[in-house]
Amino acid sequence: MKIIITGAADGLGRELAKKLEGNDLILLDYCEDKLKEVANENNCDYYVCDLTSAEQVEKVCKEITDKNEKIDVLINCAGAWVNEQAELNLNKLKNMILVNVFGTIGMTMSLLPKFKEQKSGLIININSQAGVEREEGFPVYGATKSAIVAFRKNIKRQLGNNNIKITDIHPGMIQTKLFEKDGVKYPDQAFKAYSLSKETIANAILFAINQPSKVVIHSLKIKNDNKNK
C-alpha cells in the first residue's frame, strides 16, 4: 500500500513508519535531519513540509499526486501541544491551532481530489482523548481536537459517497516527547503507569488499516486501564 504519514520524524509518526515497514511509505515533517534519517531507515520517499503553510501543503501534495498513481492511506499524525497553564503565549497557541487543525484539514482537502478520482482511500486522523472528553486546564488544545471530530463528522458522507473512509483515533497520553517539547517533564514512573506506548497506538492504527473495504471505523478510543482503577 502507498501510505502517507505526517509528523514522521519523531514520536508516534516514527513508530508508525517502523510498524508499516514493507509498505510504500511517503513521510512528511518539517525537521529535515530527523525526517531524512527515518526515510533512510525505511528506504522511502520523504518531503520536508511545514503543515502551517498553505503554500507548502499544496506544493507537496501536488508533487505526491503527480508522482504516484494511487494513494491508499493518509495518516494525519503531526500534532502540537502547548502548556497552557504555564503562560499565555498567543504565538504558541496559534501554531498549535494551525498544526492540529489546519495541518489535518489542509492535507485531507489537498489529497481529496486524488481520493475521489480513484474512488478509494482511507484517512486516519490521530486525534486525542481531549477531542471527545473534557480535560481541565488545556481548553485550546481540546478545541483543536474537537474541531477535527467536527470535520470528520461533516465530511464523512461526502467521502463515503466516493468510497473513501475516514477514522479518528483517540488515544490518551502517549509515551512521546510531546510534553517535554514545551517544558513539561512528568515523573518517569507515573508517566509510564498512566500513558500508552507508541507501539500500542501503532497497532490500533494497523487494525483500522487492515479492516475489510466495506468496514468503516468512524472513531476508536484507546485508554490506559490504570486511569479507571
User: Which residues fall within 8 angstroms of residue 106, CB to CB, at 6 or more apart?
Assistant: 51, 54, 57, 58
Q: Choose the catalytic residue: 46, 47, 141, 186.
A: 141
Is 46 in the active site?
Answer: no
Q: Give the count of beta carbons closer than 10 Å to the beta carbon of residue 75.
A: 29
Judged by phi (left if over 0) then psi (alpha if -120 to 50, else beta), residue 79 lies in beta
Q: Which residue has the cell 497557541?
A: 93
* 43's grid cell: 528506504
> Could you tell me which of 88, 93, 94, 216 has the C-alpha nearest to residue 157?
216
Element (H, E) at 16: helix 11-19
Strand partners, 28: 6, 47
Running DSSP on this structure, what letter comes out for residue 215?
-
DSSP reduced 3-state for 55: helix
Tell me the H-state helices in 102-138: 103-118
As annotated, the active-site residues are: 141
